Amino acid sequence: MSKSIFISGAAFFVAIIIMFGSWYTIDQTERGVITRNGAISGTAEPGLHFKIPIIDSVNKISMQTSKIHAVMESYSRDQQPASITVSVTYHVNSDSVEEVYSEFQNVDNLIDRTLSPRINQATKTVFGKFSASESIQERGKLNKEVLDAIISESTELVTIESVQIENIDFSDTYEKSVEARMLAEVGVQKAKQEWEQEKIKADITVTQAEASAKAVKLAGDAEAYAIQKKGEALRTSPELVPLTAAQRWNGVLPTTMIPDTGVPMINLDKK
């Protein structure tokens, strides 16, 4: 009785194993590598699949976009030491899952053995072509060249989506020298602006002085011309003098007169 119960229990257990071990699912963000007795027998796309229990195994490889951060020490073209932080976004190519599994077993090993060392080497090589100041002022160009270099050096098993240089940390001594240089440049620019403002003021003063001198000259010329014309009029018209005096007389006779002189403005002809 106990023996039959044992056999029934064992059969039931085997049936459970067969039932639950004969099917599997692959997520949309994964691909499966099927091995039979340890040897690769094929790959599996997303969905529900069946396999031979115990004999077949399913190894899932992620196709999701992932990001790794790499920190490295390097030198610029002008021998300034720097710590560089680079982030790389990538994904495994879906048609490379068999090779990824056969050579590396999983994505982490793939990254550690191939992609990370190439990221470090490519970044250092490109960074060494830039001076310290250029790496700061031309960050976009540096980032683009690092991206191109990493793609060129990368394994064909993955696709590099983007590369971002997140930080370049120079030594404290260099950063202080850069700060001092920037302050000096600001001072030079300020002095230049002040000089230009003073020059503008000086130009305005010169222009005003020239305009005043020109006005004085024009007034002098006008006055000289008027005197000249008045002289010509007096020479050609002697009667203009008494006429002008009469026009300017206020009609009041003087209270004191010099003997033997005539009354102003009155000319009495003696017959």
Could you tell me if residue 179 is inside a domain?
no
Lowest mean pLDDT among 12-26, 126-140, 195-209: 12-26
Domain check: are 56 and 86 in the same one? no
Q: What is the CATH number of the domain that holds 163?
A: 3.30.479.30
Domain check: are 160 and 88 in the same one? yes
Range of the domain at 208: 187-232
Domain check: are 70 and 57 in the same one? no
pLDDT at position 71 is 93
Domain check: are 195 and 166 in the same one? no
pLDDT at position 270 is 47
Could you tell me if residue 16 is inside a domain?
yes
Q: How many independent structural domains does the chain possess?
A: 3
Q: What's the pLDDT tens digit per position in 57-114? A: 899 999 999 999 999 999 999 889 999 999 999 999 989 999 999 999 999 999 999 9
For a pLDDT cut of 70, what percent of the chain falls above it? 68
Domain check: are 19 and 99 in the same one? no
Give 191-244 as a DSSP string: HHHHHHHHHHHHHHHHHHHHHHHHHHHHHHHHHHHHHHHHHHHHHH-TTHHHHH
Could you tell me if residue 265 is inside a domain?
no
pLDDT at position 271 is 45
Domain check: are 86 and 138 in the same one? yes
Q: What's the pLDDT tens digit per position in 138-166? A: 999 999 999 999 999 888 899 999 999 99
pLDDT at position 7 is 63
Q: Which amino acid is at 133?
A: S
Could you tell me if residue 143 is inside a domain?
yes
Could you tell me if residue 182 is inside a domain?
no
For a pLDDT cut of 90, what percent of the chain falls above it? 38
